[in-house]
Structure 1
Amino acid sequence: MNTIATKTRIRWWVAGLMWLAIAINYIDRTVLSAAAPHLIKELSLNAEMMGFIMAAFFWSYSLLQIPAGWFADRFGQKKGLGLAVAWWSIATSIMGLATGFKSLLALRLALGVGEAAAYPSNAGITARWFPDKERATVSGLFDSASKFGGAVAMPLIVWMIYMFDWRLTFMIIGAIGLVWVIAWYAIYAENPEDHKRISPQEVSYIRDGQVQKHGDKSVLPMKWYKLLRYRNIWAMCLGFFTINYTSYFFITWLPTYLVQEKGMDFIKMGMVAALPLICGMVIEVIAGWASDRVVHSGRLSLTATRKLFLTIGLLMALCIGFAPFTDSMFMTVLLLCVAKSGTTVAASQVWALPGDVAPKNSVSIVAGLQNTVSNLGGAIGPIVTGAIVAATGSFTFALVFSAALVVLGIVNYLFLMGKVEPIVEDVPAGTQQVSVGRA
């Protein structure tokens, strides 16, 4: 059973669909950022108004993470992810009809509603469809699509807006997701055992390599509020908040920063803004693969490996605080590329952690809880950045503040997060719960 299944590799088709879902997810949420310079001028928006519009997505996105995770664990990731992609694709297309601040705000809220299910569902799919030794590889792979989506979106959408207009661009981009939905329902099965084309060898390879064999319908997900009793859950949430605060700068304010502060023209900005995302995409897949190799070679424990890669990534992310202090465009872009790559090194571990620690059949809800807190960074980050820029006329203090939060993230993962193991809850109701990493 230690040999790779030779008859089928269905799990990698599933991974491809997961990757595409996140790529589409980020392309759809990045359209507004790429079009922001045009929207500010055409719809008479100021920096603070645009900050609220960018942040509105994260309000609904953050608040619905836990319900979306619960739905995916309870009713299956096939429904959870399929319905979500259909919803947000429609919302993206309708955004092309926006007429001003209020309509843009409402449609960004609607976009967040649909996109809330993407990451919790993918975390649950990873736990069901892949052996533990491939977890960080797959987590890094599907999350790397967020950088691909952003990287493709910038030059592609800038070109589309230049050739057509921003309204038609929103409509075309939104239609792409509906094509994915058709493929999803045609290919995906809830569990490996349920797939009509998978071989028994591949099923055995997947299931024999799992400590927690998720998918048993007789085991209900743990209540989300019970998870708050465990210190590792708090560490995962707080640490990811500091990562996301920095990370979302690259898909919200970066285009405006390059145009207004660095004096780039619109077309050049579209190409340069993609570079940090492309670097991050490649580095994240490598980091996920490398961490899996380290763990399963026995050189370091799972806990030591997760903490090592998280710390390395966040040290790289500190470079965002140095970017404003150079007049060299090359150094500015280099520092931003290193910073973004650092957030992706950390993210490859962040999205493996729910599968590492979640109770049985609760991976999506753990991922949803983690993403709820982390995306408060997305909810308040654009507002704080907009307010600082409006008050100071510069992005310098905004980027230094991001770096300070990264330092807190390092401290959090090193000292608050304990041993990385599954949370175990006693079956009899009312009995004392036994767990790993109890606060």
Structure 2
Amino acid sequence: MIQTTQSKGRIGNYRWFICAMLFAATTINYLDRQILGLLKPTLEKIFSWTESDYSYIVMAFTATYALGQLLYGRVIDHIGTRLGYIISVSIWSIAAVMHAFIRTTVGFGLVRALLGIGESGNYPGGVKTVAEWFPKRERALAVGIFDSGSNIGACVGPILVPFILALYGWQIAFIITGSLGFIWLLVWLFVYEVPARQKKLSRAEYDYIHSDNDVETPSAGGLSWGKLLGLRQTWTFIVGKFFTDPIWYFFLFWLPAYFNASFHLDLKKPSLPLVIVYTGTMIGSIGGGYLSSWLIQKGWPVYKARKIALLVSAIAVVPILITRYTNDMWLVVSLISLSVAANQAWSANIFTIVSDMFPKKAVSSVVGLGGMAGAVGGVLFESLIGYILDIFKASGNIVVGYNIIFLVCGSSFLIAWLIIHWLTPKMEPVNL
């Protein structure tokens, strides 16, 4: 039963509290995900990892993350966002804590695989929750805000993890960060329901949330993967994720090692360069979402606002190519900060186009398909990264290996944008 508003004309802001919950979940998700990259220099000495060994462990996470997104997308469309998040956060928090008790390289691969299964539910659930709680004109901003949690997690990690590592060791670092998910779960259980069943939501805000929704068709939730894959709109999202998600995995899992190798950054101490880089991602997430929402408020068609925001983001990644021509660490930090910010601005908008083009009941399924494609691209790219870095590390020129990888990073977003534009020039909603 939805309560009537006490103040006529006042919309209310409960939807933004829900967005804050998604933000917190994503922060924890990425903190649990990134901690391995921050502990890599310590763990590779303890367990004698090669660059390829590390890439296999990362690939174990990415492979199950790919499969998990496909399955979670379908499951969440059927069981709903409340239960979907409970299952997802429970699994990934258990897996995160289990890292502390592993003593073999194979063991790390197994718990990373379990972590991938759990964490894969965050984005299918988050994007669907935004579609349920926000009108189209606010969705990109809401997605940008909750997606910026990935960047807060990435910013907190370089400060928190070295501090815990120095005082208590790497095992306690996994236990402390992994336990945060259980705290989030307790809050979620008490505060979350879908808008139609949320007693704290006013009628005015409920009506505002649904003010520009398209009419849902009864068959929308029954779309099979086969039918979804037959739609150009689905392939728009798949392409956008396949070409760009691998770049974010590189930024997340290899940047700490890059700064360690290139500038001898001590990852056992709080790392200001990494904090600056990942702070840029937070600005990109919110800024990218704000840009398309602002253009829509100015009267631009939704598809044009999203398309321009994606193009601006793709162009802003390109300057990462310049890093190969300088040895100035702070210039490199600036260039990479711009690129990772643009990466996250792209992410805020690429997720939002799903809710623009598909009915709510199909959103998680499409996000799952695209997420799987992005993770598959990640597996392929991570394998290539490990191969390239081992070759150049053996010759004593590992920085050259990173420069080759930056060439891929700088061009992939523009390639993705051109294919997206060819597939759906006006990003028309699907006709069911």
- TM-score norm. by structure 2 comes to 0.93
- Native 8 Å contact 2:93 2:181 kept in 1: yes
CA drift at 1:290: 2.3
Compared CA separation, residues 371 and 5, structure 1 to 2 (3 A): farther
Matches within 5 A, 1:225-304: 225-267=226-268, 270-298=271-299, 300-304=300-304
1:206 maps to 2:209: yes
- Native 8 Å contact 1:22 1:146 kept in 2: yes
Aligned counterparts of 1:4 and 1:266: Cα–Cα separation in 2 = 55
- Native 8 Å contact 2:317 2:343 kept in 1: yes
AA matched with 2:253: T
- Native 8 Å contact 1:73 1:221 kept in 2: no
1:17 maps to 2:39: no
AA matched with 1:398: I
- Native 8 Å contact 1:77 1:121 kept in 2: yes
AA matched with 1:422: P
The alignment partner of 2:427 has SS state of coil
**Residue 359 of structure 2 aligns with which residue?**
359
AA matched with 2:322: F
1:421 maps to 2:423: no
1:333 maps to 2:326: no
Aligned counterparts of 2:220 and 2:348: Cα–Cα separation in 1 = 28
**Residue 125 of structure 1 aligns with which residue?**
129
**Residue 192 of structure 2 aligns with which residue?**
188
AA matched with 2:202: S
CA drift at 1:217: 8.3
**Residue 46 of structure 2 aligns with which residue?**
42
- TM-score norm. by structure 1 comes to 0.91
AA matched with 2:213: Q
Aligned counterparts of 2:255 and 2:213: Cα–Cα separation in 1 = 40
- Structure 1 gaps, min length 5: 426-439
1:29 maps to 2:33: yes
Q: Which stretch has the larger CA shift, 21-30 or 200-209?
A: 200-209
- Native 8 Å contact 1:317 1:342 kept in 2: yes
Aligned counterparts of 2:186 and 2:384: Cα–Cα separation in 1 = 39
**Residue 397 of structure 2 aligns with which residue?**
none
CA drift at 1:7: 6.5
Aligned counterparts of 1:61 and 1:362: Cα–Cα separation in 2 = 20
Aligned counterparts of 1:350 and 1:99: Cα–Cα separation in 2 = 39
CA drift at 1:292: 0.9
**Residue 63 of structure 2 aligns with which residue?**
59
Q: Deviations over 1:210-262 (max 9, x none)?
A: 2256xx98853411221111122212211222221222211111111111122
CA drift at 1:282: 1.6
Q: Deviations over 1:134-156 (max 9, x none)?
A: 11011111111111111111221
CA drift at 1:411: 1.9
Q: Would you tell me which structure has more helix in proportion to its own residues? A: 2
**Residue 96 of structure 1 aligns with which residue?**
100
AA matched with 2:179: A
- Structure 2 gaps, min length 5: 394-400
1:170 maps to 2:183: no
Aligned counterparts of 1:249 and 1:256: Cα–Cα separation in 2 = 10
**Number of residue-to-residue matches in the alignment:** 420
- Native 8 Å contact 1:8 1:202 kept in 2: yes
Aligned counterparts of 2:206 and 2:391: Cα–Cα separation in 1 = 58
Aligned counterparts of 2:243 and 2:318: Cα–Cα separation in 1 = 11
Aligned counterparts of 2:271 and 2:78: Cα–Cα separation in 1 = 41
1:316 maps to 2:316: yes
- Native 8 Å contact 2:73 2:125 kept in 1: yes
- Native 8 Å contact 1:70 1:221 kept in 2: no
**Residue 437 of structure 1 aligns with which residue?**
none
The alignment partner of 2:271 has SS state of helix
Compared CA separation, residues 384 and 153, structure 1 to 2 (3 A): same
AA matched with 2:301: S
- Native 8 Å contact 1:131 1:210 kept in 2: yes
CA drift at 1:193: 1.8
Q: Deviations over 1:328-373 (max 9, x none)?
A: 1111111100110111111111110110111351111111111111
Aligned counterparts of 2:254 and 2:383: Cα–Cα separation in 1 = 10
CA drift at 1:279: 1.1
Taking only the aligned residue pairs, the percentage that are identical comes to: 26
Aligned counterparts of 1:288 and 1:358: Cα–Cα separation in 2 = 19
- Native 8 Å contact 1:320 1:402 kept in 2: yes
**Residue 398 of structure 2 aligns with which residue?**
none
- Native 8 Å contact 1:139 1:348 kept in 2: yes
CA drift at 1:405: 2.5
